[in-house]
């Protein structure tokens, strides 16, 4: 995908540029604490959302922000998702980085923290106190330390299912464990329906499906949430027998024809799911509204049933947000945009777009969210997204090897061994 400027006016007015530069100089010299207000100038935001609802929501935020602060012009740039972080790093090195950029929480913002400014001194503490998930955006996951991004939304990794297709196959409810999933696959195949559809989606993180939606639930079905740090610090080996067995059950879904045959080459799964070409897909809640607009009450959501007993974990965390680059010479306007994003008006825009606001007190509007957000009241434990809490280099390795194992192009043992090898080769300081 080539770089595409997705929005907004061509050449921003420069009439207040001197005032902006003066403000930036003062800002940089003496610092600034408190609720940010926009001044004037240009602002560039990079994202890797592709054509997902997040991109639509971000553009809606920008439109509203520019209407509120007409002296600030914002260029929103959609970058290719498959090498987004490399592009961001290269841009920072060549002094061409944006002012703000979408960044993933957890290990990712820590990995790139050398490029990111601590936004805590720039934003009102009263606003930040209302935001969910700041732990995952803070230095050492400690909210008393530097804060490297402001969460964009609360998120779920989740399964979607077509209620009408399950009913047609004689299935009363979404599966809750491996056994029920196997039974559902058998009935759906007998009815001529593809049970699960894998392939790339509209974010296009790669040309293949993203395996960490599944892996997050594979570990949730195996380990208590408190054990997950063991996958990062080495207390749990990626080659541990119980994990190999669990991942093998997942890979067997393809081998047993529970999925489409072309799992590595299929694309645009959202459109195909909307068209009724499969009963279930694995994705993120940020696509919920897009699917709901097509399927309406036939759309269901469910925690992936990768457990020997009914699954009692759900993967939920603010998985990304906007970071301020250290190199930005327009930090005041960037802080003003982040302040607007956290405001009531900003949160309502995100909710209207179909996302889950990350600020306490603001509700999601889609009726399906009530069921998802109510899972914790039903005894479900919240799990973090596993790709956000393990080392990014291990994620890079798993992005190819797990897919290969799922497609029977590599054994599960070999795939996990390569992830373990990557972990083994990490510097000691990163093995935590």
Q: What is the 3-state secondary structure (H, E, C) of the chain?
A: CCCEEEECCCCCCCCCHHHHHHHHHHHHHHCCCCCCCCCCEEEEEEECCCCCHHHHHHHHHHHHHHHHCCCEEEEEEECCHHHHHHHHHHHHHCCCCCCEEEEECCHHHHHCHHHECCCHHHCCHHHHCCECCHHHHEHHHCCCCCECCEECCEEEEEEEEEHHHHHHCCCCCCCCCHHHHHHHHHHHHHCCCCCEECCCCCCCCCCCCCCHHHHHHHHHCCCCHHHCHHHHHCCCCCCCHHHHHHHHHHHHHHHCCCECCCCCCCCCHHHHHHCCCCCEEEEEHHHHHHHHHHHHHHEEEECCCCCCCCCCEEEEECCEEEEEECCCCCHHHHHHHHHHHHCHHHHHHHHHHCCECCECCCCCCCCHHHHHHCHHHHCCEEECCHHHHCCHHHHHHHHHHHHHHHCCCCCHHHHHHHHHHHHHCCCHHHCC
Quote the pLDDT of residue 208. 84
Quote the pLDDT of residue 337. 97
Asked if residue 396 lies in contact with residue 112, where contact means CB atoms within 8 angstroms, the answer is no
CA proximity to 341, closest of 357, 319, 355: 357
Overall residue count recorded for the chain in this entry: 432
Q: For residues 359 and 361, what is the distance between their CA atoms, to the nearest angstrom?
A: 6
State the Cα torsion 369-371-374-376 to the nearest 10°.
Answer: -100
CA proximity to 329, closest of 8, 29, 6, 9: 29
Quote the pLDDT of residue 132. 95
Digit-by-digit pLDDT tens for the chain (432 residues) are 333 333 333 333 333 333 333 333 333 333 334 445 555 568 999 999 988 889 999 999 999 999 999 999 999 999 998 889 999 999 999 999 999 999 999 988 888 999 999 999 999 999 999 999 999 999 999 999 999 999 999 999 999 999 999 999 999 999 999 999 999 999 999 999 999 999 987 665 667 899 999 999 999 999 999 999 999 999 999 999 999 999 999 999 999 999 999 999 998 999 999 999 999 999 999 999 999 999 999 999 999 999 999 999 999 999 999 999 999 999 999 999 999 999 999 999 999 999 999 999 999 999 999 888 889 889 999 999 999 999 999 999 999 999 999 999 999 999 999 999 999 999 999 988
Q: For residues 76 and 6, what is the distance between their CA atoms, to the nearest angstrom?
A: 6
Q: Is 142 exposed, middle or buried (0-12, 13-18, 19+ CB in 10 A)?
A: exposed
Please state the pTM of the whole predicted model.
0.85
């Amino acid at each position: 995908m080539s770089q595409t400027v997705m929005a907004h006016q061509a050449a921003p007015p420069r009439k207040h540029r001197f005032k902006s530069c003066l403000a930036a100089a003062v800002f940089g010299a003496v610092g600034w604490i408190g609720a940010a207000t926009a001044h004037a100038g240009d602002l560039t935001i990079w994202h890797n959302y592709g054509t997902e609802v997040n991109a639509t929501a971000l553009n809606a935020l920008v439109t509203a922000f520019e209407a509120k602060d007409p002296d600030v012009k914002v260029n929103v740039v959609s970058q290719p998702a498959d090498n987004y972080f490399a592009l961001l790093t290269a841009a920072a090195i060549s002094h061409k980085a944006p002012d703000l950029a979408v960044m993933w929480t957890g290990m990712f913002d820590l990995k790139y923290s050398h490029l990111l400014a601590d936004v805590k001194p720039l934003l009102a503490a009263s606003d930040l106190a209302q935001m969910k998930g700041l732990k995952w955006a803070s230095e050492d996951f400690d909210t008393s330390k530097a804060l490297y991004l402001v969460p964009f939304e609360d998120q779920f990794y989740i399964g979607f299912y077509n209620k009408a297709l399950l009913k047609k196959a004689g299935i009363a409810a979404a599966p809750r464990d491996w056994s029920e999933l196997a039974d559902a696959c058998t009935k759906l195949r007998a009815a001529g329906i593809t049970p699960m559809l894998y392939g790339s989606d509209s974010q296009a993180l790669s040309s293949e499906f993203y395996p960490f939606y599944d892996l997050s639930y594979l570990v949730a079905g195996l380990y208590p949430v408190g054990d997950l740090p063991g996958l990062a610090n080495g207390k749990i080996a990626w080659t541990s027998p119980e994990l190999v067995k669990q991942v093998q059950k997942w890979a067997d879904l393809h081998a047993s024809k529970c999925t489409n045959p072309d799992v590595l080459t299929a694309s645009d799964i959202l459109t195909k799911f909307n068209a009724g070409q499969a009963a279930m897909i694995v994705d993120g809640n940020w696509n919920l509204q897009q699917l709901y607009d097509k399927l309406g009450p036939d759309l269901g959501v469910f925690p992936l049933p990768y457990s020997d007993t009914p699954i009692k974990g759900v993967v939920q965390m603010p998985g990304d947000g906007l970071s301020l680059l250290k190199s930005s010479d327009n930090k005041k306007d960037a802080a003003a945009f982040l302040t607007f994003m956290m405001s009531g008006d900003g949160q309502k825009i995100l909710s209207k777009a179909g996302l889950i606001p990350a600020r306490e007190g603001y509700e999601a509007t889609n009726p399906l969210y009530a069921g998802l957000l109510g899972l914790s009241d039903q005894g479900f434990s919240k799990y973090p997204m596993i790709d956000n809490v393990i080392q990014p280099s291990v994620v890079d390795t798993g992005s190819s090897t797990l897919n290969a194992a799922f497609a029977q192009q590599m054994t599960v043992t070999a795939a996990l061994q390569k992830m373990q090898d990557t972990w083994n080769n990490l510097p000691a300081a990163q093995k935590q």
